[in-house]
A and B are shown apart, each in its own frame.
Chain A
């Protein structure tokens, strides 16, 4: 029961009014002479000063009438408690056709497609189920990879049982296949292991169907030795053929006959940027400025959040920006990283396997307190009931009062 205007409940003391009225009516004062005394019936209904047993029903009815009026003023609502389910199973299915079924105990089983889970995330789904059905336990069956826990950890009341559905989990994934510098095809493959995901470049047992052929990295011979050494290191890592030529860009990755991805220099107001294809989504640019030549990229300043003179930072588009000339000893490594990025882009590796979410990390914040209900449908006004009851009691009172003479 909840009240729209609980302030009226202060009128509860008015329940005593019928008692006072009954006692007040008992006053009779000085006896009056009545010549027709003998015509009075034997039962006068007022033979004592105290409240008698036969008066109590009427008094209670009157008290109930007062109580009903107070409840009407206080705007009483019935609050129907939502049906508490013992458990709810949220099941990920590898299909577009989803729905809701029941398990053998009559508890609901809600199905979600893998796409929905990837979009919404497990935590949102779990929180919604907890909010809607108030179950004691939520069983989650599906792929429990890290990428499916991308929303904010919710607060929920139910207990959760996570069940990894291995049938939905891809055990290994080939990210790219290319022709290596040694004339054999190479494959970048990810595998799930007991400890996580392992990524390896391997030589496949069988010849793959699609192999990127003719992939090689052309280095500008005008680059400093440190830059070319770093880039060459990246090429060697991916077992890609590399050679030095006179080109305009710092480096050029040639894939097949036509596709060329470049690591170029671009002069802007703030200095010189090294860009992969100059596309913001490439995720990296390399800015060399004359102003910051004094900066030394030591370990402690490698990722400074100091906006005044950061060496490495993210710009507004989310690109990783290297600001200033790195120290000579670091130059090769930075360009090795840039080369690595260039090759990753060239090999067109998009999706990758995600490790399973750590068990401690995937639990939501549990709370014992129920959240404020925001479902108006669960509140029904009791006004109609109260008015009906009031009418019935009033009729009863009118019927009984003359009989009791009160």
Chain B
């Protein structure tokens, strides 16, 4: 029998999300991005010749004394980016598998990534979004901000659907600094709903990472033979026989996923799918390894 990922077990028991996220982060130390650039900093990197226009304050006078030449001392400095998390708060995030809702899983993924980002000194921002409500946390660094971030994740009610317009976002946009957008959603609201969002991100020039979270049972329609299913957003119900509808269902689903993949295809956009029966640690490890290559 397949062993259930232990952190999902812990998540189900209702432990503090921040603590669990930190525990997972401790498990791997690979950074999300190259967080350093050469320049003024505390850690030595290299010497280079003085060029006209360089700040004379950067000249290493001790080196000048030894060599009678002007050298600029360079060191690696933290190059902080803002990691902006968008978390889908629509009703479909209430989908539950093995006692964990999709939102809980997404929240854990978000918390882990936010913890890593925070530890690297990146500013983190959070947007919890549906068509009725928009909760946000502006970008900031620091441990206290991470705690606020996680606290906000823990008190969410999922309803409605993903908004079609991006008005809620344009007010919060920061076009001056480099940002990485991470979107945690099931992306099941239809490609059209995401179009405006993608257009906006492209216009701003930020990189978007979509993390699509789908249940294993959703992907394979593993349910009882006769079951009543309910659409979380429209609340429509249907009595189905899974064996009868599975073939057509999977065909429709895969066609949509393929369409979505093509729709999101762009140099700055990336889609990564996570299955809810997968350990968050393993899923993120795989995701971060993939980002390493990119």
Contacts and interface: CB of A to CB of B under 8 A. Distances in A.
Contacts of A32: 223, 227-230
Contacts, number: 109
A64 interface: no
B229 A31 contact: yes
Contact of A37 (B96, B102, B225, B229): B229
Nearest to A403: B244
Given A32-B223, A39-B249, A44 B240 contact: yes
A39 B220 CA distance: 12
Interface string B197-221: 0000000000000000011001000
A156 B242 CA distance: 67
A314 to B, nearest CB: 90
B248 interface: yes
Nearest to A402: B243
B245 A41 contact: yes
A93 B231 CA distance: 95
B32 interface: no
Nearest to A32: B229
B243 A405 contact: yes
B239 A40 contact: no
Between A37, A40, A45, the greatest number of chain B beta carbons within 10 A of the residue's beta carbon is seen for: A37
B85 to A, nearest CB: 20
B287 interface: no
B252 interface: yes
A158 to B, nearest CB: 62
Interface string B229-251: 11110101111111111001100
B101 to A, nearest CB: 9
Between A36, A404, A405, the greatest number of chain B beta carbons within 10 A of the residue's beta carbon is seen for: A36
B11 interface: no
Contacts of B47: none
A376 interface: no
B137 interface: no
Contacts of B223: 32
Interface stretch (A21-29, A122-130, A285-293, A380-388): A21-29
Main secondary structure of the interface of B (DSSP, over half): mixed
Contacts of B228: 28-32
A31 B241 contact: no
Between A26, A35, A38, the greatest number of chain B beta carbons within 10 A of the residue's beta carbon is seen for: A35
A33 interface: yes
Contacts of B237: 31
A37 B244 contact: no
A41 B249 contact: yes
B230 A35 contact: no
A95 to B, nearest CB: 79
A46 to B, nearest CB: 4
A35 B189 CA distance: 9
Contacts of B92: 33, 35
Between B188, B234, B241, B248, the greatest number of chain A beta carbons within 10 A of the residue's beta carbon is seen for: B241
Nearest to A404: B244
B238 to A, nearest CB: 5
B253 A36 contact: yes
B256 interface: yes
A9 interface: no
A25 B230 contact: no
A40 to B, nearest CB: 5
Contacts of A30: 228
A34 interface: yes
Contacts of A31: 228-230, 237
B186 A44 contact: no
Interface of B: 92-96, 102, 186, 188, 214-215, 218, 223-232, 234, 236-245, 248-249, 252-253, 256
20 contacts: A25-B226, A32-B230, A33-B92, A33-B96, A35-B214, A36-B188, A36-B218, A37-B234, A38-B188, A40-B229, A40-B248, A41-B249, A45-B245, A46-B240, A46-B244, A47-B239, A48-B239, A402-B243, A404-B244, A406-B244
Which 9 pairs show the lowest CB-CB distances between chains A and B? Answer: A405-B244, A405-B241, A37-B231, A35-B92, A41-B248, A39-B252, A31-B230, A28-B228, A44-B240
